[in-house]
Each structure stands twice: as C-alpha cells, then as structure tokens.
Amino acid sequence: GIQVEQSPPDLILQEGANSTLRCNFSDSVNNLQWFHQNPWGQLINLFYIPSGTKQNGRLSATTVATERYSLLYISSSQTTDSGVYFCAVEGDDKIIFGKGTRLHILP
C-alpha cells in the first residue's frame, strides 16, 4: 500500500520563526490534505491540496504530485500553532495518514 512519511518528527521553534514541514508519499494519489491537531486533541483540516499552492493567512502549502511530496509552510509562528501536523493522502481507495510532525512554539 501507499506509504506516507513526514519530516521532521519533532520541531521546537521560538515564536516568530518560520518553518517548513514535509510530506513524502510512495505512489500516485488522488488528493492530499494537511491537518493540525491542537493540544486538546481536535483535528482541523488546514488544506485540501492535490496539486499546486494554496495560502491561508500565515500558512501555505505546496504539493508537487509528479515528485510525490507536499510542503506546509508556517510563517511568523505563534504559540497557538503548537500541536501535531498530519498529512493524509487518498489512494488505494482509502485515506492514509503520516505519523505527523510535532511542533512546539516557545513564547
């Protein structure tokens, strides 16, 4: 089946810093989504991005489907950005998640 790998597994940054999270996948996929799990456990859909680039405030995402990766950019980090970021791909008739990147923003 499709393998999804995220890097780095953990990231600690000072408030105001920028960061780039990566998601690699092993096969062609129909779509890709990014999620943020906040410290209370809620999973929020950030982007639905099968290809191209999208922006939402300080967050943006780029998916290069032909090279099988996606990047999530967070600019001017805030403490509320802390949590775990997951990417998920749809392929093989199901949605598969990576293991996530745990981001901790220090005040």
For another protein, the binding residues (CB under 8 A) are: 1, 30-31, 33, 35, 41-43, 45, 48, 86, 88, 90, 93-100
Smallest gap from residue 16 Cβ to another protein (A): 29
Q: Give every CB contact of residue 74 below 8 A, 6+ residues apart in sequence.
A: 18, 19, 20, 21, 58, 59, 81, 103
What is d(CA 20, CA 40) in angstroms, rounded to the nearest whole number?
23
CB closer to another protein out of 43 and 76? 43
Of the pair 89, 105, the CB lying nearest another protein is at: 89
